Amino acid sequence: MFLQPKGENMKFKLLYYGDILTNPKKRAQHIADIRMQFHPQLKKLVDFQPWNNLNKFMMPDATKSPIITRHVGGMDWNPIITSNLKMIAELDILLMHPEIVGVPRSDIDNRVKTILDGLRCPQNEHEIGQNTPRGIGPIYTLLDDDHLVTKLTVNTSHLLTNEMFSCDVPTSPDSVFMLIDVNVRVTEGSLENLPFMV
């Protein structure tokens, strides 16, 4: 996760390295694995201004309304971008993968659907995934729901090598590297979202 310089605080970047499958056999778990790569980045985001203002609306220590935490499947989920605070997002995705760009196997549209599902809160307990860790406190997601994305651009490129990535995330020869530029906008000003009207 990277923050922009002061004066552009409504923008930040998310990183991902791993599989983005178009039609996995265990879709809920695959989405959960993607979601858990974004969780620590987004949890760290709310340590910085102006994002730390979100803490007062989030469990476990919420002090103001509206509470933006969602309770799904016995777990708490803290979305960064939520309609409760009149926020929307514009996403610019750079997707680098080992496939040659432009070949029929490059199924970008279905990959984007998988990515968006990994960026949002689960909508019901069936979307959580069996291996999602419990007991770690709220899990942070970028979006409350993917309808909050109002602009989406995707650029693809050939990932020449993945040897520079050494992480604990299980990967395959088809793993992708992804950089997501997030631009957050406020649709309607209020006292609650005033810190985000940069």
Q: What is the 3-state secondary structure (H, E, C) of the chain?
A: CEECCCCCCCEEEEEEEECCCCCCCCHHHHHHHHHHHHHHHHHHHCCCCCHHHHHHHCCCCCCCCCCCCEEECCEEEEEEECHHHCEEEEEEEEEEECCCCCCCCCCHHHHHHHHHHHHECCCCHHHCCCCCCCCCCCEEEEECCHHHEEEEEEEEEECCCCCCCCCCCCCCCCCEEEEEEEEEEECCCCCCCHHHCC
Q: How confident is the model at residue 23 (pLDDT cuts 50, 70, 90)?
A: confident
Domain count, the chain: 1
Q: Which domain holds residue 117?
A: 2-196
For residue 196, pLDDT over 70 is answered with yes
Interval 95-154: pLDDT, tens: 998 776 665 555 788 889 999 999 999 999 999 999 999 999 999 999 999 999 999 999
Cis-peptide into 98, omega within 30 deg:
no
Interval 58-69: pLDDT, tens: 999 899 999 999
> Given this model, what pLDDT does residue 81 score?
98
| Closest by Cα among 53, 42, 39 to 13 | 42
> Given this model, what pLDDT does residue 3 score?
52
Task: Report the share of the chain in percent with pLDDT over 70.
Answer: 85
For residue 163, pLDDT over 80 is answered with no
| Closest by Cα among 23, 54, 19 to 37 | 19
| Closest by Cα among 147, 106, 158, 159 to 123 | 147
The answer, as to whether pTM is greater than 0.75, is: yes
- d(Cα 142, Cα 6) in Å, to the nearest integer? 21
- Where is pLDDT greater, at 47 or 101? 47
Sign of CA dihedral 183, 46, 141, 66: negative
Interval 52-91: pLDDT, tens: 999 999 999 899 999 999 999 999 999 999 999 999 999 9
> Given this model, what pLDDT does residue 6 score?
42
